[in-house]
Each structure stands twice: as structure tokens, then as C-alpha cells.
Chain A
Amino acid sequence: MHPTTHLRLDKESTKVDKTQYRAMIGLLLYLTVSQPDIMFNVCLCARFLKEPREVHSTVVKRIFRYLIETPNLGLIFKRRESFKTHKLLRCELCW
């Protein structure tokens, strides 16, 4: 999302299918666990779940387009030398 974009409740824009919008947001929220770079945009769009309009679903689709462009972007966890509890941390980080 560009910094100049202001997403807000829009009564004029055409309505979109609520169920579909919720499904899309739910999917994206699940993805934010491994993709923190879309966190802000997804959470912003999630605020309009009650009254989703065309403008909101456009932004959501844009997030999907971003994800298609960056399919092999992932988080990397580097090992820190000073930690002595590798065994413990491993269990937590490997899910």
C-alpha cells in the first residue's frame, strides 16, 4: 500500500461478498505468521470485515498480487553464537 492511500469505511463503493472477503483475510492472517512484511496491510484490511467494499477488496487483491510476485521470500533464523540453549530453542522454532 502506498503511503498516500487512505483506507476508510466507504459507504458509496459497491458491496462485495462478505464471506469471500472474510475467507481471503483469514487466509492472509494465517500467512502473517511466516510473512511479517504483509502484517500491516492485512491487519488494516481486516478492520473492514463488517462492511467490506470494492475499495477494500482491491487492496486485498493487491496483497495477493504481491505474494504471487514474491513466492520464495522467507524468514531466516540465524544461529547466535552466544546462546547455550540451542536444544531448547530448536524445539520452539521448528514448530
Chain B
Amino acid sequence: MDMQEAGLNYIVEVEYMSATSCCAQLLWIKNQLEDDNVYESKIPIFCDNRAVISLLKNPILHSKAKHIEIKHHFIRDHVQNGTVDLQFVPTDDQLVDILTKPLTKERLILLRSQLGMIFVNDWLNFYMSSTSASKDMLTTGPYHTLTTFNIWMTYHAFYSNT
């Protein structure tokens, strides 16, 4: 085995392990939601490594994947019975990069908007034009701090439509 192959094997193992731990987290959230009568199946997991996806979707013991410990293989069951759905996502669209990598300005702005972070002004313009909420909410309330504003936004995003 040359150096490059060893490195590749290592990357696949790491991605495999992270997919497994992600699956464990998902199952926990799924359990929590089932208490509230929300039943989800085919929960998508976005993985940027095609080798891992092929390994997981094809339940055969590959001789090249022997080094992966058995405890990491439990995600296979969940892929097989359809609890989770592995999907390929190109590295450029990998949303979690914002939490794990230092980014350039352009990329930070892109990923930040995909996370659901927007400027309050933009949102308010959109919101005010679509509903009849008064602008006094903005000028008279105690919205000096960012956190307060976030709570206010959350409150309205949820209560306005009902």
C-alpha cells in the first residue's frame, strides 16, 4: 500500500465515523420528536464523500474497509431500513463548513445566509410589506440588544401566521 492509498483509507474511515456519530445524534432527535407525535423517516444526511456513501448503501464486507471498527457499522442498519437517507453533497455546498473551517469573506456570507441568518432590515422590509404589523413595534420596544431582537423575531415568525 503506498502512502496515498493509506491516506485515502484514513479519510474514508474518518468520514465513516463522523457519519455514524451524526446518525446517532439524528436518532436521538428522532426519538424526541416521536414523543411529540412527529414521525420522520428518510432523514437526509449530507455527506461529501462518495466512497462512504457507496460503502454504506452496499452492505458487503469490503476487504478495503476491514480496518473500520464494528461499532461504527451500526449506521448501516439505519440506512438499510430507511431511517436515514444518505445524500451526496459537493464540498462547495457543505453547510457545516462554517462551524469547522476558517472561511473567506464571500464564503462566510454565503454559508451564513444558508444557515438562516439574515439582516433584520431586509427581513423587516419583507415582513412589513406582507403583513399589517405596525412599525411602532420596532421603534418603541426595547430592541437595543441583538439578543432581544432575535427573540422578538422568533416570536413573530411563529405567531404571525397562526
Q: Which residues of A contact B (CB under 8 A)?
A: 1-3, 5, 31, 34-37, 39-41, 44, 70-79, 83-86, 88-90, 93-95
CA distance A93 to B153 in the complex (A): 11
A85 touches B38 (CB 8 A): yes
In the complex, which residue of chain A has the Cβ closest to the Cβ of B103?
Answer: A3
B131 contacts the other chain (CB 8 A): no
Query: Among B37, B98, B111, B118, which residue has its beta carbon within 8 angstroms of that of A73?
Result: B118
B155: Cβ under 8 A from any A Cβ:
yes
* Chain B facing A: main interface SS: helix
- In whole angstroms, how far apart are the Cα atoms of A86 and B38 in the complex? 11
Interface footprint category on B: 20 to 34
Query: Given contacts A77-B116, A88-B36, are A72 and B158 in contact (CB under 8 A)?
Result: no
Q: Using an 8 Å CB-CB cutoff, how does the interface string of B85-99 with A read, 1 for contact, 0 for none?
A: 000000000000011
Contacts of A72 in B (CB 8 A): 119-121, 146, 149
* Distance A46 CA – B144 CA, assembled complex (angstroms): 27
A44 to B38, CA, bound (A): 36
Least CB separation from B147: chain A residue? A34
Q: Is B22 an interface residue (CB 8 A)?
A: no
How many residue pairs, one in A and one in B, have C-beta atoms under 8 Å apart?
A: 98
Give the docked Cα–Cα distance between A79 and B115 (Å): 15
Main DSSP-derived SS at the A contact region: loop
A79 with B149, Cβ < 8 A, contacts A3-B103, A36-B115, A72-B119 known:
no
Q: Which residue of A lies closest to B111 (CB)?
A: A37
Interchain CB contact (< 8 A) of B104 among A2, A34, A84, A86: A2
In the complex, chain A residues whose CB is within 8 Å of the CB of B149: 72, 74
Docked complex Cα distance between A73 and B119 (Å): 4
Smallest Cβ distance from B50 to chain A, in angstroms?
24
Complex: A84 Cα to B36 Cα, angstroms:
9
